[in-house]
Structure 1
Amino acid sequence: MATITVRVSDEEKKFLDEMAKFEGKSLSDLLKTTTLESLEDSYDAHVGDIAYEDYLKNRKSRPLSELLTEYEVD
């Protein structure tokens, strides 16, 4: 498992420790899960923006039932 070092001020460290305690997590787990969730949300929003821009250029849509069949979703 890899280790990442992040430098923070004493005030930031105190805040992070308090937040970890508030969330009932270790500091490492809090930073890991919060960072990954934030990055995933940012990525999803960016992909959504790109898809919407593409839709605005083409103005084509398909029925949901057709997409569900195409992607074999029950």
Structure 2
Amino acid sequence: MKDNYSLHIAEILIEQRKKAEKSQKELAEYCGVSKSSVSKWENGTSRPSIDKLPKIADFYKITIQKLLTGNNTNIN
């Protein structure tokens, strides 16, 4: 991770999916999107819409801050 202010959602999505041993299809079904959308999120072509962030975080049992930045510490 480069710094605390950068968004790293693509790499975090991949990391969390592998850690949870889930498929792109499982996340897609949980969020109500296509597998293609999840693939685009993971390869950095697009980002999930803001309304999907809580669902993704819940799916992986992480905070939205961890999903976006890779850490759970407050940025001051």
Q: TM-score, normalization: structure 2?
A: 0.28
Bigger Rg over Cα: 1
Give 1 or 2: higher helix fraction: 1
Q: TM-score, normalization: structure 1?
A: 0.29
Larger RCO (alpha carbons 8 Å, 6+ apart): 2
